């Protein structure tokens, strides 16, 4: 741009910062039965060095079935203490009613969910889980093992999926013991979504709904390359998330009111399989 002074740039940035911070710190109203959590890693120049920092984002679905950007923040690393602080801030702003939190198997994040979102169930991202299992399988056998694993998730109920998982583990343990250890240990976490309305299964079994947003964040961040400071990251990502929130506000509901009523009004699918999962 030509003909724009440094003072004018500073004024524009200040005005944008005020809008972004207001959005970032706004009160959260209503209940959010579903919450997705994930991180991306933009490069930021700080202290004369270029560092990869953790940009964490949370989105949710409120009781009306509408999606909402719940919050975001930037930290030095994606460790447990950072996730703990982030979730506590969300709760302080009004986050409540969380029944299912969906994320990858980051141990620090999982502990933070247990400590802050008390009473919520954790769903281990099924996509990340499949990658973890297949990483312990030779490439020549990955296609076959993947097909067999998918029979678990094709079951009509959580109980049937548990039984199929155990059969698969028994069938493949002799050839792929490490992969089957991962499968058995993740039984309750990777099948948690099946205790919720079937209409929601496709969206709540993984972090894919948030991954799509993260891809857009990465696409826009790649144009910048290296951010000059943390403030510039918050400014750009905040503007992107505000834009996304505006789109979701006028879009059709993510889940229908009728399907959301099954969990909001205490009609959630009974957790009859809890005993089975623990056996």
Q: Each residue of 103-130: pLDDT tens digit?
A: 999 999 999 999 999 999 999 999 999 9
| 189 is a domain residue | yes
Total of domains in the chain: 2
Using the predicted structure, report yes or no on whether residue 132 has a pLDDT greater than 80: yes
* Average predicted confidence (pLDDT) for the chain: 90
pTM: 0.89
Q: Which two tokens stand for residue 92?
A: 């302080």
Q: Same domain for 214 and 251? A: yes
| 243 is a domain residue | yes
Using the predicted structure, report yes or no on whether residue 8 has a pLDDT greater than 90: no
| 271 is a domain residue | no
Give the pLDDT band (50/70/90) at residue 15.
confident
Q: Same domain for 51 and 113? A: yes
Return the C-alpha torsion angle 270, 206, 253, 157, nearest 10: -30
Q: Same domain for 116 and 130? A: no
Q: Same domain for 68 and 98? A: yes
How confident is the model at residue 5, as a pLDDT? 54
Over residues 202-245, the pLDDT tens digits come to 999 999 999 989 999 999 888 889 999 999 999 999 999 999 99
Among 146, 178, 196, the domain boundary falls at: 196
Q: Same domain for 181 and 249? A: no
For 148, the domain range is 126-196
Distance of CA 189 to the CA centre of its chain: 14
| 277 is a domain residue | no
Give the pLDDT band (50/70/90) at residue 68.
very high
Q: Same domain for 79 and 56? A: yes
Q: What is the mean pLDDT of residues 253-260?
A: 95
Give the pLDDT band (50/70/90) at residue 247.
very high
Over residues 182-207, the pLDDT tens digits come to 999 999 999 999 999 999 999 999 99
Q: Which two tokens stand for residue 167?
A: 């059969």
Q: Which two tokens stand for residue 30?
A: 């209503």
CATH number at residue 105: 3.30.420.10
Using the predicted structure, report yes or no on whether residue 277 has a pLDDT greater than 70: no
Phi then psi for residue 163, to 5 deg, are: -65, -40
Q: Same domain for 100 and 227? A: yes
- From the list 81, 96, 121, 114, the residue with the least C-alpha distance to 205 is 121
| 276 is a domain residue | no
| 268 is a domain residue | no
Over residues 91-104, the pLDDT tens digits come to 999 999 999 999 99
Q: Same domain for 34 and 44? A: yes
Per DSSP (E only), the strands in the chain are 34-40, 43-46, 49-52, 54-61, 67-75, 100-103, 121-124, 226-227
Q: Same domain for 53 and 85? A: yes
Q: Same domain for 96 and 146? A: no
Using the predicted structure, report yes or no on whether residue 267 has a pLDDT greater than 90: no
Give the pLDDT band (50/70/90) at residue 272.
very low
C-alpha distances out from residue 87 to 36, 82, 83, 84, 114, Å: 12, 9, 6, 5, 11
Q: Which two tokens stand for residue 60?
A: 């949710």
117: three-class secondary structure by DSSP: coil
Among 151, 167, 196, the domain boundary falls at: 196
Q: Same domain for 15 and 100? A: yes
Q: Same domain for 109 and 213? A: yes
């Amino acid at each position: 741009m030509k003909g724009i002074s440094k003072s004018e740039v500073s004024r524009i940035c200040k005005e944008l910062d005020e809008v972004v911070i207001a959005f970032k710190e706004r009160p959260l109203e209503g209940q959010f039965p579903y919450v997705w959590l994930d991180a991306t890693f933009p490069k930021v120049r700080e202290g004369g060095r270029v560092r990869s920092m953790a940009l964490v984002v949370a989105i949710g679905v409120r009781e009306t079935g509408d999606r909402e950007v719940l919050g975001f923040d930037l930290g030095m690393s994606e460790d447990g203490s950072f996730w703990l602080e982030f979730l506590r801030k969300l709760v302080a702003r009004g986050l409540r009613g969380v029944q299912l939190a969906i994320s990858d198997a980051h141990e620090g994040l999982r502990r933070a969910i247990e400590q802050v979102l008390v009473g919520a169930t954790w769903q281990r991202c099924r996509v990340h889980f499949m990658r973890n299992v297949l990483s312990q399988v030779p490439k020549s056998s990955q296609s076959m093992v993947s097909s067999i694993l998918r029979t678990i998730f094709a079951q009509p109920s959580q109980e049937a999926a548990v039984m199929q998982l155990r059969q698969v583990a028994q069938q493949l343990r002799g050839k792929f013991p490490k992969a089957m250890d991962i499968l058995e240990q993740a039984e309750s976490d990777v099948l948690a979504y099946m205790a919720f309305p079937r209409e929601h299964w496709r969206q709540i079994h993984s972090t894919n709904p948030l991954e799509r947003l993260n891809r857009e964040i990465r696409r826009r961040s790649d144009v910048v390359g290296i951010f000059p400071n943390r403030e510039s990251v918050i400014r750009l990502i905040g503007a992107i998330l505000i834009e996304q929130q505006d789109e979701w506000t006028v879009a059709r509901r993510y889940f229908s009111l009728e399907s959301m009523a099954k969990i909001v009004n205490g009609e959630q699918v009974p957790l009859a399989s809890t005993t089975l999962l623990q056996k």
